[in-house]
């Protein structure tokens, strides 16, 4: 990135002394690693693993790292057994983390997170006894004495963070957690001095900031994460946001970070289908109202985009969280003019948030080493081998490049004319264009690691045997399953692969057979009607008020119209979307509901003919007239080469779809490819 002068130097940090000058003086070092819970906070050997995780990101030249949320008390935990810092003993455990970051030349702040009514345990508290729609537990309403104790717990936690070696703390005041619950009318129905008027409702965060600043002194960073766009009914408006920002500055904050949306909001804010940098305009509305630096965040995933945001003055600093999961060397590569080598976050949520919400340690679809740095170690090979990888999909590309990085001689074969395998289906789905970045990354990595790439070459077992490879990896993927339905050979029947990869044109009335991830993707593809992937269309489709004059920043959704009638069918009686991603499935379900896609479960397929498809349901027999019928009924693994290679005595390894032909699963394929390559 090109250097540029900045107004974000020492004079902008009234609460910092020179020893803690972060040096945010150019565009190159104004990128922060934002907070995200990884599960390492509660994992066995978690502190050592956090040290490896954050230390690697510090080596990548990130200006400031903010940890995942740490509770100031038992009531504030994310879940039972969740991480908390309320004793010196606990603080001392964190020193291995801060030491690793400091030795790598970085700085690190600890996020203090009190979940309030979002905590998943029976000791949760809130300003009022209102159960969150995403939680089964009802909170205990805090008494005034308990409120004062909670404020002191925040201050003590910050003081302990300083003892642990942290350079600062981030006070989490957004995303619908406890502090945000006090601020919003939606969750604060109190009639005392902590509720009612806006001035009373913001008293809680301001008293916390004053107590924290008093406890830690002036030479310690305090970031306040302010909810600038709640996206829930009875949330805040822009006048309230600006007023609170000014008061937060007076109360002692060093920096204000931008929070977008509550967890219970029914508007996607960080998923792949959200346009890049979709919310920097929100931060820009606060610019000029405070003198301390403002951070902007959400769906910023390239250095070029970060530079553009800073250059036009939307914010003073840019926060990226998941992009540092995807590539710990993000900033370093950008500084060196190697942005094409960055492993870009695609905002899929599949290995990060989806893992966290089911109690697993986070990772990353495009970088399975994330949060597993001590477990997946890439070392030079002790004995260099000649290895063939067949199939240049996600698993094959990850395996081949990791093998070559370790020093092996690697040939990568694919019958197609392009890299990517099944990613070439995913990237053509509206809102999933980010998969282009993954293909771009691996294309560059194939070149830089010296993999010999052979496209448009359908290699046979005899070819591999004759070339005398020491090992062969079959990453040959899958082919669509053809269900045994009478008439399935009819010309109006199309597989999902032919529809998308061969651009076979469907008619105006379409039946989709299958309701897994592919069925949903195909239905979105069919009903998109050329919907442009822009912020303006996103606002309209999800009902966002860009003026934020309405409380919560909400407005009426504009109907998404499709010129095609689509009916989805599936055999099982389970709910549609039950197999989709934990944090993104509801988005796909809502989109298809808005586009009036009919969904029928418990189906028995009787026959396909020129009229359409005849089915049986509990309601009886029904003919669904259709111009086209798309098969999304699963996959079969491609293992044609396996028997002959095994007979020849060549060690063969199966990864990705060739190993297990479930739903198209790039996460599993890339992880298998990386892990296999790390040990061969």
Q: The domain spanning residue 663 has which CATH number? A: 3.40.50.720
3-state SS string over 290-309?
ECCCEEECCCCCCHHHHHHH
Q: Are 76 and 84 in contact (CB under 8 A)?
A: yes
Instruction: Give 399's pLDDT tier (boundaries 50, 70, 90).
Output: very high
pLDDT (average), residues 640-658:
95
For residues 302 and 430, membership in a common domain is answered with no
- Are 618 and 495 found together in one domain? yes
Q: Considering the domain boundaries, does residue 149 fall inside one? A: yes
Instruction: Please indicate, yes or no, whether residues 282 and 390 belong to a single structural domain of this protein.
Output: no
CB within 8 Å of 511: residues ≥ 6 apart: 566, 567, 568, 569, 612, 613, 624, 626, 628, 629, 630
296 and 262 belong to one structural domain:
yes
pLDDT at 29: 63
- Using one digit for the tens of pLDDT, what is the confidence trace for 537-566? 899 999 999 999 999 999 999 988 888 999
Q: Give me the CATH number covering residue 341.
A: 3.20.20.70
pLDDT at 597: 96
Confidence of residue 503 (pLDDT cuts 50, 70, 90): confident
Q: Is 177 tagged catalytic?
A: yes
Q: Pick the catalytic residue: 177, 496, 525, 605?
A: 177
Q: Give the least confident one: 22-36, 230-244, 248-262.
A: 22-36
For residue 583, give its domain range.
482-529+564-633
607 vs 511: CA distance, rounded Å: 13
Cβ 666 vs Cβ 549: under 8 Å: no
Does position 16 have pLDDT exceeding 70, yes or no? no
Domain count, the chain: 3
Q: Is 231 helix (H, G, I), strand (E, B) or coil?
A: coil
**Structure tokens that stand for 461 in this block:** 């077992």
Instruction: Judge whether 16 lies within some domain.
Output: no
pLDDT in tens, 19-46: 234 444 443 467 899 999 999 998 989 9
* Domain end marker among 310, 336, 356: 356
Q: How confident is the model at residue 63 (pLDDT cuts 50, 70, 90)?
A: confident
Inform me whether the pLDDT recorded for 305 exceeds 80. Answer: yes
User: Residue 587's pLDDT is what?
Assistant: 94
Mean pLDDT of the chain: 92
- Please report whether residue 7 resides in a domain: no
pLDDT score of 357: 87
Asked if 137 and 274 sit in the same domain, the reply is yes
User: Are 281 and 335 members of one domain?
Assistant: yes
């Amino acid at each position: 990135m090109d250097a540029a002068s900045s107004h974000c130097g020492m004079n902008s940090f009234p609460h910092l002394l020179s020893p803690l000058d972060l040096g945010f003086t150019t565009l190159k070092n104004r990128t922060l690693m934002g907070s995200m819970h990884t599960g390492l906070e509660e994992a066995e050997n978690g502190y050592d693993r956090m040290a490896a995780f954050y230390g690697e990101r510090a080596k990548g030249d990130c200006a400031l790292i903010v940890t995942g949320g740490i509770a100031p008390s038992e009531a504030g935990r994310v879940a039972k057994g969740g991480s908390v810092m309320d004793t010196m003993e606990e603080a001392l455990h964190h020193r291995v983390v801060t030491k690793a970051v400091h030795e790598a030349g970085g700085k690190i702040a600890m996020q203090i997170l009190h979940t309030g009514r979002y905590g998943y345990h029976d000791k949760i508290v809130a300003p009022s006894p209102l159960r969150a729609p995403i939680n089964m537990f009802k909170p205990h309403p805090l008494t005034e004495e308990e409120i004062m104790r909670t404020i002191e717990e925040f201050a003590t936690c910050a003081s302990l963070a300083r003892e642990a070696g942290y350079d600062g703390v981030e006070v989490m005041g957004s995303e619908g957690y406890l502090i945000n619950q006090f601020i919003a009318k939606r969750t604060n129905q109190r009639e005392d001095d902590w509720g009612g008027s806006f001035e009373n409702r913001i008293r809680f965060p301001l008293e916390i900031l004053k107590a924290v600043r008093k406890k830690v002194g002036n030479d310690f960073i305090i970031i306040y994460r302010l909810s600038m766009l709640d996206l829930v009914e009875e949330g805040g408006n822009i006048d309230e946001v600006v007023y609170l920002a000014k008061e937060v500055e007076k109360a002692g904050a060093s920096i204000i970070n931008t929070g977008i949306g509550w967890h219970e909001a029914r508007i996607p804010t960080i998923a792949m289908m959200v346009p890049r940098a979709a919310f920097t305009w929100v931060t820009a509305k606060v610019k000029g109202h405070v003198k301390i630096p403002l951070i902007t965040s959400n769906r910023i995933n390239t250095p070029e985009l970060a530079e553009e945001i800073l250059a036009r003055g939307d914010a003073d600093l840019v926060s990226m969280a998941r992009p540092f999961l995807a590539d710990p060397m993000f900033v370093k590569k950008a500084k060196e003019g190697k942005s094409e080598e960055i492993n870009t976050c695609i905002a899929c949520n599949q290995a990060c948030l989806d893992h966290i919400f089911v109690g697993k340690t986070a990772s990353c679809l495009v970088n399975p080493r994330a949060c597993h740095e001590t477990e997946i170690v890439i070392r030079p090979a002790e004995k260099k081998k000649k290895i063939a990888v067949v199939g240049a999909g996600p698993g094959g590309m990850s395996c081949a490049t990791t093998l070559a990085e370790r020093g092996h001689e690697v040939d990568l074969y694919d019958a197609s004319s392009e890299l990517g395998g099944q990613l070439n289906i995913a990237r053509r789905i509206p809102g999933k264009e980010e998969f282009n970045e993954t293909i771009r990354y691996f294309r560059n990595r194939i070149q830089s690691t010296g993999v010999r790439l052979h496209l448009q070459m359908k290699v046979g077992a005899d070819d591999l045997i004759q070339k005398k490879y020491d090992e062969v990896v079959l990453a040959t993927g899958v082919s669509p399953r053809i269900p045994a339905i009478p008439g399935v050979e009819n010309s109006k029947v199309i597989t999902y692969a032919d529809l998308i990869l061969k651009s076979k044109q469907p008619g105006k009335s379409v039946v989709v057979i299958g309701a897994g991830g592919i069925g949903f993707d195909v239905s979105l593809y069919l009903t998109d009607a050329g919907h442009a992937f822009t912020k303006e269309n996103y606002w309209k489709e999800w009902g966002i008020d860009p003026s934020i004059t309405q409380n919560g920043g909400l407005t009426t959704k504009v109907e998404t119209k499709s010129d095609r009638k689509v009916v989805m069918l599936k055999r099982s009686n389970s709910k549609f979307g039950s197999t989709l991603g934990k944090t993104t499935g509801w988005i796909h379900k809502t989109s298809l509901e808005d586009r009036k896609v009919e969904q029928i479960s418990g189906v028995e397929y009787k026959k396909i003919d020129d009229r359409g498809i005849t089915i049986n349901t509990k309601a009886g027999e029904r003919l669904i007239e259709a111009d086209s019928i798309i098969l999304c009924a699963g996959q079969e693994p491609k293992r044609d080469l396996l028997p002959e290679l095994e007979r020849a005595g060549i060690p063969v390894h199966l990864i990705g779809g060739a190993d297990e032909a479930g739903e198209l699963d790039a996460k599993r394929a890339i992880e298998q490819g990386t892990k296999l390559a790390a040990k061969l």
